[in-house]
Structure formats: structure tokens, C-alpha cells
Amino acid sequence: CEILAQALGQINSVATRLRLGFPASPRQLRTLILTLPSAMPKQEREIFRQRMFEALALVWKAMGWHPQDEDFTTPKQREKSVVPVPEIQMEWDEASCGQLVWLYNEAISHYAGRTESFFNALARPDRQPEPGVVPGRALRVASIDIGGGTTDMAIVHYQLDDGVGANVKITPHLLFREGFKVAGDDLLLDIIQRCVLPSLQTALQRAGVTDAAALLATLFGDSGRIDTQAILRQQTALQLFMPLGHAVLSAWEQSDINDPFAGLHATFGDLLIRRPTSNVMNYIQQAIDHALPSGSPTFDIFNVPLQIQFSQLQEALLAGQFTLTTPLHAVCEAISHYHCDILLVTGRPTCLPGVQALIRHLQPVPVNRIVWMDKYQVHEWYPFSQQGRIGNPKSTAAVGAMLCSLALDLRLPRFNFKAADIGAYSTVRYLGVLDNTVNTLRDENIWYHEIDLDKPGATLDARLHFPLRGNVTLGFRQLANSRWPATPLYCLSINSAELAKTIAGDGVLNVRLKLRGSSKDSAPESFILSDAWLQDGTPVAADALTLKLNTLADRRHSGSHYWIDSGSVYLK
């Protein structure tokens, strides 16, 4: 709602009207383009679409543009609005949009619209063209987009048609896409756990605290319950640990990669731009004072020293001690398999020297074919350029979506691009029970194979059913490879206390799933419970079980709370 209101206010502001001409004419939103993470499940996409329409309804009714008592669900009902309701576009993923920025800038700015010369110059000579394809008229581009919550990857094959000069059309074909719920936030948590918390623990031990680890676990660990300290624990993470982690990452990003002794040497107080509130400080100080021996001087958390060698962080990242390493290994392996011509790397975490060193080490393409989008040179057409460069790599998703929209309306001179062919597809292929500690889906835990949620009329094998002995997290992966990282999707939990006692004894629960919304003309929308029964054949009531969408489960902590929401940053 806030973004909608800001957009409406900006396009109708006096300054914008005067700058763009026709100042007396009101502006209207015609299209809302929402780029999505590459592997966002179909269920999440539909929820996202519904929430967007709900936000539109709230803003339109608040502005008096739609009757207050009328529904806003169907297109016919939305036509009753005084101001036309914008069209929502949700077909493009962030990684593919980032590719289009590079493709357009290279073709128009660097090759002056000579797309054939552009493709011929960058095509790899060591990759054999597909049968029937003329060499030099196809380009295979991969992109890695590391954001705050997801690491996305897309591999797209771009083919030129038979046209010549400016009258040539680029047809994209999405070969592979993947995404993992491990990204910048997890990197931030690793920095907090590897650098910030050990420094605090060492300072507490030197101050005289007998069991500093137990104190930190009490203050900042996962208690497993919602108590009076839960809000203070969360606020401590937001006001103390996250700013410190961001300061470490910022210093690492700006460090000299050629200096082996580069590091950060400061105190907590030096790195905090804004001090935590008094409630947060009292929460920490009271626990520390209680743990200190009597007569000890007051412990000042702002004087805790933070000594970090960036070379050690890079070595840890290369050694696989950061959670981001596993998904990067996976996506680089896929990119190497497809023999891509160019790899585009975007997202703020990719500005870190350690992340860049890891990608160079994995070398999914030759190093001279890796393009770092934060340093990529763009021309005046790019709306967010900073001194001729992209600056913030995350802006490529928004600009790429704009280019896709313009290409659909043939509004890109000298650049013909078939944007409609880049569409999202479901990456749910193998569904089963995830391991309790890490997001892996072993072959023996797979329930359903070769699922296709994009096929109209798709169904699950009704003969299959699976035994359960407790609450489980169901997840999925795309490839038939047990090493491939899996993603949480559902939590299957037992609601009935009587059923829980039966299963806790000698009982075994059998469960069968089915697809909802599947018909001849429409693809299925989600998974639902079909039926359940005990091993003796006794049927189980539908309300005794709950299959709940849960894609943000943090496997290292509680199953339902993200670490930023819970504030649980200390691992026991």
C-alpha cells in the first residue's frame, strides 16, 4: 500500500509534471510490474498476486476511486473504478530481467545497434552450436543474483532470427532457473556469529563472567518459546547485532583486495551510528551485571573490541564455512554444465571480495567472461546510473522489467526482443521430507517424483501413501540429485492430542496428498491433504492434521521463525 501511494504521489507531483511536460494533465498508473525470485513456488506467487490486488483495493477505496461496499475481486468489479485499475505483470524473474539490462546496453550502446556483430563477438568458439543453428547467431547467458533473501540463477539461450541489421529479432529461451532461500541475510548472520558474538563472549570472559557462553545463549539464543524477553531479543538483533554486521560487511566491501593484512579494528561503539534504546540496553546490562562477580567494574558493551582480518573471512568462505557457499557451488555447477558464453553477477553481496573470489575459484565460465554488474558501465539511458556505472546492482531487476514491458509494446528502437517467451515455470519436481538439521532431501525421503505443476490436468499418483511418525517439514528440489539443495515448502503437523499420543506409542500415520485446482484447462495451484489413516486402517479426521505453507523455515533455529524476526542469533 505504501509503495502504491508513493508511486501515485511521485508521478503526480508538481516537479515530475513540470519536468516531463503537460503539467496540467493528471497521471495514472497503467501497469504494475512485480519481478519475482527465480524459484518462488507457485503457491507463493499466487499469494503475492492476491496481496497485490488487496493493496490496490485498499488504496483505490481510500482515495474514493472505487465504491466502498463493492467487491474488488473480478475484472468486471474493478471496472467500476473512477480511475482505471493498473494491470499487474508478474511473469518475469529478477535474474532474467538483469540479463536484459546487459543485453540491451551491449547491443545499443557498445555495438551501436549491430546485434549480429554483438552475438558473433561474444559467442564461445569452444561450444558447438545446436543442430540447424548458424554459428555466431546465438548467445547463452547465465546470471547469478544474490539478494537479501534469495540467491537466484537463470540460464537463457538467445537466438537471432533471419533478419539483418536493425531488423533482427532476439528470441529468448529459458534453459534453466533455480533459486535458494540462502542469501545476504544468511551471510549477515554468519558474520554476526563468526565475528561479533565471539568478540562479545571474549570480552565477557575477560571481565570475569564464569560462563559467558551460557549467558549469551540465554540472552540471544533460541528459547523455543514466546516469553517476555522475545521482543527485547528481537530488538537487540535489529538495533545492535545487525548494524554491527552491516558495518563489518561494508568495511569488507571497501577493503583493498591486494592488501593481505586488510581488516577492521574498532569497538562496538565506533561502528554504531545510532545507539540501541534504553530498554534494549537495560535488557543486556542487567543480565551481564547479574553474571559478573560482586565488586567488578561496570561492563560497557560499547567498548568491546572487534578485530577482524578480511583474509580469514575469505578463507572461511572458500572453505565452505559460510552458508552461502553451498548454493553458490550448486548454481556454478549448473552454469558450467550448460557452457555459457557470459556470466552476469549481480546483487549487493556480490560486491564482497570474498564472494567474488569464490565465484572466480569455482570458475563456471572463463574469468574474462564474468561481468560484475556493480562495476558495469552504462550510458545515459540507465535511470539509476551513478557516474556512468550501475552502482546498486539490485536496480537491474527494476530496469530490466521496464525493458521487458517496453519490448512487448515494440517501444525499444533498434532492439527487437520477444519478451513474452521468458516465463516462469515451477521448479517443484521432487517432493518429500526434509532432514531436521539442513535443507537436504535424500532420495529415500522423496514422496513424489517428476511433478509438473505447469501441466493442465496434472495429478499425483493416488496409489502412493507415506508413513509418518511425527510433525515433518516437506520440501522440494528440482534435480534428481541428492546433493542439490532443497527448499522448504510445507509443514505437516498433528493437531489432535489423542492422535499425537497414538503416534507417540506404536502408531504409524499414513498420509496421501493430492493437487488442488487441476483441470483440463488449468494447471494445479497447490498441494492439499487427500486422506490419512492409521496402520490398522482407522481413518483420521481432516481437522486432525494441518498442511501449512512454510517456505521461510530456518532449519538452523526454530522451524517457524526467521532469525531476524526471533532475534535468535546465538548457536549453542
Side chain identity at residue 37, one-letter code: P
The model carries a pTM of 0.91
Residues 130 and 195 in one domain: no
259-281 per-residue burial string, b: 16 or more CB within 10 A, e: under 16: eeebbbeebbeebbeeebeeebb
Q: Is residue 438 part of a domain?
A: yes
Sequence-distant (6+) residues with CB within 8 A of 463 are none
Is pLDDT of 199 > 80? yes
Q: Is residue 425 part of a domain?
A: no
Q: Which of 81, 37, 87, 40 is nearest to 61 (CA)?
A: 81
Q: pLDDT digit string (tens) for 239-281?
A: 999 999 999 999 999 999 899 999 999 999 999 999 999 999 9
Same structural domain for residues 79 and 174?
no
Tens-place pLDDT, residues 103-137: 999 999 999 999 999 999 999 998 888 887 788 89
Quick: pLDDT tens for 166-184.
Answer: 789 999 999 999 999 899 9
Distance CA 319, CA 330 (A): 15
Of all residues in the chain, the percent with pLDDT exceeding 90 is 71
pLDDT (tens digit per residue) in 19-58: 988 999 999 999 999 998 887 888 899 899 999 999 999 9
Question: Is 410 within a domain?
Answer: no
Q: Place 225 in a pLDDT band, splitting at 50, 70 and 90.
A: low
CA distances from 325 to 139, 175, 329 (A): 28, 23, 6
Select from 404, 373, 454 the least CA-distant residue to 172.
404
User: 3-state DSSP call for residue 174?
Assistant: strand
d(CA 23, CA 236): 48
Are 280 and 383 contained in the same domain?
no
Q: Is the same domain home to 278 and 216? A: yes
pLDDT tens string 60-91? 999 999 999 899 989 999 999 999 999 999 98
- Which residues span the domain enclosing 335? 94-183+324-400
At 95 the pLDDT is 87
Examine the domain organization and report whether 343 and 309 are in the same domain: no
Q: Is 551 in the same domain as 461?
A: yes
Are 507 and 524 in a shared domain? Answer: yes
Domain closes at, from 355, 381, 400: 400
165 grid coordinates:
541489421
Which of 400, 421, 440 marks a domain boundary? 400
| 23, 59: one domain | yes
With beta carbons less than 8 A apart as the criterion, state whether 32 and 5 touch: no
Are the C-beta atoms of residues 437 and 553 closer than 8 Å to each other?
Answer: no
Asked if the structure places residue 572 within a domain, the reply is no
Owner of C-alpha cell 532474467 = 96
- What does the pLDDT look like over 491-517, one tens digit per residue? 999 999 899 998 988 889 999 999 998
What's the CA gap between 292 and 210, in Å, rounded?
8
514 is a domain residue: yes
Q: Does any domain span residue 301?
A: yes
Any domain includes 414: no
Angle made by CA atoms 286, 287, 288, in degrees to the nearest 5: 90
| CA dist., res. 381 & res. 528, Å (int) | 48
* Residue 212 and residue 160 in one domain: no
Split into its structural domains, the chain has a count of 4
Cell 540479463: give the residue: 99
Final residue of a structural domain among 287, 317, 347: 317
Is residue 411, in this structure, part of any structural domain at all? no
Q: Which pLDDT score, from 0 to 100, does residue 557 have?
A: 45
Residue 111, domain CATH: 3.30.420.40
Let me know whether 330 and 217 are in one domain.
no
Count Cβ atoms below 10 Å from residue 299 Cβ, excluding itself.
19
Nearest to 136 by CA among 152, 119, 149: 119
- Cβ 432 vs Cβ 497: under 8 Å: no
Same domain, yes or no, for 366 and 249? no
Check whether residue 264 and residue 153 sit in a common domain: no
Rounded to whole angstroms, the Cα distance separating 436 from 146 reads 25
